[in-house]
Amino acid sequence: MTAGEQGRTVTPVDTAEGGKGGAGRRDTGAGTRRARIRRPIRAASRRGPWKRGLLLAVLALLLGLLMLLHAKIPNRIGNLGSLVETFLPWLGLFIPVLSAGALWRRSASAAVALLLPVMVWLNLFGGLLGDKSRPGGDLTVVSHNIDTGHPDPAAVARDVAASGADVLALVELTAQTLGTFEKGLAKAYPYHTVRGTVGLWSRLPLSDTRPIDIMMDSGPLMAYNRALRTTVATDQGPLAVYVAHLGSVRVNPRMGFWTAQRNRGAQALAKAIAAEQNERVVLLGDLNGTMDDRAFAGLTSQLRSAQDVAGDGFGFSWPAKFPMVRIDQILVRGVEPANSWVLPATGSDHLPVAAEISW
């Protein structure tokens, strides 16, 4: 092979290599562009712990402010404030969810922001977590919504009689079930009084019984009286006992959280208790609301919840299969709750609630 042939041979090889080099240069340019795109992503992923999880931090602060300022949420739109207050304890479930997110993102800012909802929730409900009961109860009271459509009222009568209550309040009595309860409770409770759909059975004498007008609208069940007041004669003196079943509430897209009847009843009941001359008062019944709801401010300003003072836990009573709220209440004035608890299910959609009170 001659030198010229060698040159001619080398030339196409060099050209091919040059082509490959050009492709390499083009690939290098594309890789550079990709690197430029990836660089801010990697930089973002390497952000410090205070810059990561800012959205989680904002959500944690909003959750804390929602619980802290729940009383400021207006009721003008669908009673939103009352709805939030009804399920206020459950907002605490968002805390572990946000905590898991903060841990996953390794976000210091979110972890610090979570201190606000944690402290607010503990301030509101931390006192309910421990057992506050103590010995020394003088009188045991029980309240139960027996459920109008219960298929076996005789079994309910046996269950509540076995509770050992000295004073027993029942609501949602009907003309069909009243006789069953009167018969089933006669042996344990020689004294009883019934007004409309609410009644009180007692081991101690009763007197001065009268209905309380809680301003219910007319209807199949609403036409009957749903609140009463009576006096229980105890060894320590008279005890005024109120039994009430306030109006139901509804949640629907058109009206929001509808509470009109219940709120009117709560106001009427608060007015009646404010006029009560007896210093010792117990209110029993299904109030269809929690005591965190601002609608009950007239009652909570005069009475204390036995569950809050002497209970163990939240005392949720409804719905019976998976209790989420405490709408069955035992509220007192002038006596001291010594113990408060929730009784086992009776087949009703409500759980019975009980308390021991002392003088």
| Burial (CB count <10 Å: 0-12, 13-18, 19+), residue 125 | middle
CB atoms inside a 10 Å sphere around CB 155: 14
Residue 160 and residue 134 in contact, taking contact as beta carbons nearer than 8 Å: no
pLDDT value for 252:
84
pLDDT value for 4:
47
What parts of the chain have a pLDDT lower than 50? 1-7, 9-24, 44, 220-223
* Stated pTM of the model: 0.84
- What's the CA gap between 92 and 114, in Å, rounded? 11
- What's the CA gap between 43 and 277, in Å, rounded? 73
Residue 257 and residue 264 in contact, taking contact as beta carbons nearer than 8 Å: no
pLDDT value for 7:
47
Question: pLDDT tens, 150-165?
Answer: 999 999 999 999 999 9
Q: Which amino acid is at 211?
A: P
Q: Helix, strand or coil for residue 321?
A: coil
Q: Which residues contact 69 (CB under 8 A, 6 or more apart)?
A: none
- What's the CA gap between 24 and 30, in Å, rounded? 10
> Which residues of the chain does CATH 3.60.10.10 include?
139-358
- What's the CA gap between 93 and 98, in Å, rounded? 9
pLDDT value for 10:
46
DSSP labels, 225-291: --EEEEEEEETTEEEEEEEEEPPP-EEETTTEEE-HHHHHHHHHHHHHHHT---S-EEEEEE-SS-T
pLDDT value for 253:
80
CATH of domain 139-358: 3.60.10.10
pLDDT value for 28:
57
Phi, psi (rounded to 5 degrees) for 48: -65, 165
- What's the CA gap between 357 and 121, in Å, rounded? 28
Q: What is the 3-state secondary structure (H, E, C) of 168-237?
A: EEEECCCHHHHHHHHHHHCCCCCEEEEECCEEEEECCCEEEEEECCCCCCCCCCCCCCCEEEEEEEECCE
